Amino acid sequence: MEALKAEEFLNELLSCREAFWEKMNAERKSYGAEKPLSPAIVLRRLQFGVVMERKAAEVTARWVGQIPDLDLQQPMSEYVVNELKHTSILRKRIAELNGDPDALWNQPLKELKELWDYHASLESLCELIASVQFGHEEFFPRTSKSFIARVESIDPQTASVYRDTLLADEAGHEWIAPEILRRYATDAKTQNKCLEALKRGCELFGKAIQSFNQSLPA
Ligand SMILES: [Fe+2]
Ligand SMILES: [Fe+2]
């Protein structure tokens, strides 16, 4: 198989991701992802965020030293710093709410662990980027918007953490993943592996989200 041109390859990844989003978003209501929030659910959601932010930083950090071009290496190292900063912000908010910041970190749901073990097992920077930053991290602003809308009336401080910090930073690093894939995933073998990683990552992410929602207090 011949390698796709960069834009064709990115379009292929994009259509896989969006097809998955359509499917997952249609299912979300069925397992209660949009139900009204209670303080206990808000706390759990913040604890879930701690795992997602910290793991995104950890699985990415090991590849930063291998990014050939400084104009991508530097922003990617800042990405790692940002995700760890978000972890700290979420942990602080949980402590303010008298919760355990590391409840899910110390005892992750099986499906959540599977998701991050998979990312940690990937064998190239491009596969990781396709699966995490180009893949399910793109869903974060979408699911956060509905969370912010629902949390605003019961916990405006938490709504502000999401809206003014986490989401604001997210917008600043969205350009990096497509640029890395455009520049480094140029042969057919790597492109195929990236597509596989994106699909598997989305699948595991969907399972983790479902398991998380089903674990929420009634
Ligand atoms: Fe983040
Ligand atoms: Fe992020």
pLDDT in tens, 142-172: 999 999 999 999 999 999 999 999 998 988 9
Q: Measure 144 CA to ligand 2 centroid, in angstroms.
A: 12
Compute the distance between CA of residue 90 and CA of residue 179 in angstroms, rounded to an integer.
Answer: 29
Q: Measure 137 CA to ligand 2 centroid, in angstroms.
A: 6
**CA 195 from centroid of its chain's CA atoms:** 17
Spell out the residues 6+ positions from residue 49 whose beta carbon is closer than 8 angstroms to its own: 86, 90, 166
Give the ligand at the shortest distance from the Cα of 136. 2
Q: Which pLDDT does position 22 carry in this prediction?
A: 95
pLDDT in tens, 57-88: 999 999 999 999 999 999 999 999 999 999 99
Q: Which pLDDT does position 128 carry in this prediction?
A: 98
Compute the distance between CA of residue 132 and CA of residue 135 in angstroms, rounded to an integer.
Answer: 5
Question: Are 80 and 53 in contact, with CB atoms under 8 Å apart?
Answer: no
Confidence category of residue 1, pLDDT binned at 50, 70, 90 = confident
Residue in 28, 57, 15, 64 with CA at minimum distance from that of residue 150:
28
Compute the distance between CA of residue 80 and CA of residue 109 in angstroms, rounded to an integer.
Answer: 23
Whether the pLDDT of residue 206 is over 80: the answer is: yes
Q: Measure 1 CA to ligand 2 centroid, in angstroms.
A: 33
* Most distant CA pair in the chain, distance: 56
Q: Which pLDDT does position 116 carry in this prediction?
A: 97
52 vs 217 pLDDT, higher one: 52
Q: Which pLDDT does position 35 carry in this prediction?
A: 84
Confidence category of residue 115, pLDDT binned at 50, 70, 90 = very high
Compute the distance between CA of residue 155 and CA of residue 190 in angstroms, rounded to an integer.
Answer: 45
Q: Measure 4 CA to ligand 2 centroid, in angstroms.
A: 27
